[in-house]
């Protein structure tokens, strides 16, 4: 992003780029979970530094209070609920950006749980990292036979020996 000191002429552009980068961050195929988390956190901090409050919504805080059965919340409870809702937003985004090859089954199961009105997503980015770090793909009897160590790439060695036998 461009910084122009006190000149806010590019503020709109910087905001769009910051939010766009944040919502599009994805774990690359061979990127470690730690590197992905670091990248995710950097994009989140950039948004915060330019004044964007990603994930903030009144409905999010209200929903947290409802889940906690708080009917007449104090201001402190409202503030805490808002922080929890924002962190949950970031955690869900983090999980959804995880490597689809490595965590695809987990993501599919979580999305299906949402359809069934279950709440499968971790509530913090730290808990999301923990879930992803412990996840092991389990392939059913109808699997393609690919295991975590099998990325579908095969190599053949060609030697001159074959030509000599003919």
Domain boundaries, the chain: 11-136
Closest CA to 136 of 88, 92, 104: 104
Closest CA to 54 of 66, 46, 65, 62: 46
Cβ-count burial of 91 within 10 angstroms (0-12 exposed, 13-18 middle, 19+ buried)? Answer: buried
Cβ-count burial of 31 within 10 angstroms (0-12 exposed, 13-18 middle, 19+ buried)? Answer: middle
Q: pTM of the prediction?
A: 0.75
| Model confidence pLDDT, tens digit, residues 106-145 | 999 999 999 999 999 999 999 999 999 999 876 544 444 4
| Model confidence pLDDT, tens digit, residues 86-112 | 999 999 999 999 999 999 999 999 999
Query: How far is residue 90's CA from residue 55's CA, in Å, rounded to a whole number?
Result: 7
Decide: helix, strand or coil at residue 114.
helix
- At residue 11, the pLDDT reads 86
Decide: helix, strand or coil at residue 19.
helix
């Amino acid at each position: 992003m461009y910084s122009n000191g006190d000149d806010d002429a590019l503020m709109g552009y910087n905001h769009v780029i910051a939010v766009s980068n944040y919502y599009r961050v994805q774990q690359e195929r061979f990127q470690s979970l730690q590197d992905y988390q670091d990248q995710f956190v950097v994009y989140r901090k950039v948004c915060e530094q330019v004044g964007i409050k990603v994930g903030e919504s009144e409905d999010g805080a209200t929903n947290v209070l409802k889940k906690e059965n708080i009917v007449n919340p104090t201001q402190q409870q409202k503030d805490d609920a808002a922080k929890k809702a924002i962190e949950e937003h970031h955690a869900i985004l983090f999980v959804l950006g995880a490597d689809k090859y490595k965590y695809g089954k987990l993501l599919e199961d979580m999305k299906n749980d949402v359809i069934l009105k279950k709440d499968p997503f971790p509530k913090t980015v730290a808990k999301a990292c923990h879930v992803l770090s412990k996840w092991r793909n389990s392939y059913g009897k109808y699997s393609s036979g690919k295991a975590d160590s099998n990325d579908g790439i095969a190599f053949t060695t060609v030697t001159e020996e074959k030509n000599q036998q003919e």
